[in-house]
């Protein structure tokens, strides 16, 4: 059986969502599973290889994020199988089906890893929001709710990553300019 057939194959279930809708939802969930597996491994890549003055904080943050993604992987895969689908959860399947770009291997500095991760969290977050809409349209409020739960956390983590970027070069220059202004007499 080919991978494309596996991603939409259904087993019998008593869940009352029509099989045509379940098949489409399972394909979408398997895309999400691939991207989530890929994102988790990319976050771990950053966790293992980050260097610089913010090493410890970023090392810990990346590990925490990877742990959250591991939980989402399980939620998504279990939803696939609950709908009667086949969870496509191997590393090779993830590589073949992920929407994310490959992680750069020539970076070390914390800010470079933060940027690379933010550049991956943004399209992943967009995918999740689109999946909320698609699963709602297909009549599966439970899967839409699962996507909403994941989306909320991913948006929060993207905010955390972007806060590091916003506090770097450009905002640092603004802060320096503010501290160099003459004091106002009272």
Q: Which two tokens stand for residue 114?
A: 């933060």
User: For 51-97, how does the pLDDT look when each residue is reduced to its tens digit (9 = 90+)?
Assistant: 999 999 999 999 999 999 999 999 999 999 999 999 999 999 999 99
Average pLDDT, the chain: 89
**Which tens digit of pLDDT belongs to each residue from 13-52?**
999 999 999 999 999 999 999 999 999 999 999 999 999 9
Nearest to 22 by CA among 84, 69, 66, 68: 84
| Phi/psi of residue 90, nearest 5 degrees | -85, 160
Tell me: the pLDDT tens digits for 165-174?
996 654 433 3
Residue of 108, 103, 104, 92 lying closest to 48 (CA atoms)? 108
Paired tokens of 108:
């070390």
DSSP 10-74: -------S-HHHHHHHHHHHHHHHHHHHHHHHHHHHHHHH-BSTTHHHHHHHHHHHHHHHHHHHH
Convert the pLDDT of each residue in 103-127 to its tens digit. 999 999 999 999 999 999 999 999 9
Give bridge partners of residue 109 from the DSSP assignment.
51
For residue 2, the model assigns a pLDDT of 60
Q: Tell me, what's the pLDDT at 9?
A: 79
Task: Return d(Cα 63, Cα 45) in angstroms, integer.
Answer: 10
């Amino acid at each position: 059986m080919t991978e494309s057939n596996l991603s939409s194959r259904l087993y019998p279930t008593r869940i009352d969502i029509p099989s045509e809708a379940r098949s489409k939802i399972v394909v979408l969930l398997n895309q999400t599973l691939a991207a989530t597996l890929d994102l988790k491994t990319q976050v771990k890549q950053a966790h293992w290889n980050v260097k610089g003055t913010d090493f410890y904080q970023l090392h810990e943050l990346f590990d925490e994020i990877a742990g959250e993604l591991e939980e989402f992987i399980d939620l998504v895969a279990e939803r696939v199988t609950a709908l009667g689908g086949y969870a496509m959860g191997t590393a090779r399947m993830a590589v073949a089906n992920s929407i994310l770009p490959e992680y750069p291997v020539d970076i070390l500095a914390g800010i470079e890893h933060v940027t690379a991760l933010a550049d991956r969290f943004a399209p992943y977050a967009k995918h999740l929001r689109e999946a909320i809409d698609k699963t709602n349209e297909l009549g599966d409020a439970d899967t839409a709710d699962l996507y909403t739960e994941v989306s909320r956390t991913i948006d929060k983590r993207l905010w955390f990553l972007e806060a590091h970027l916003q506090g770097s070069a450009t905002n640092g220059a603004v802060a320096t300019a503010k501290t160099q202004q003459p004091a106002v007499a009272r």
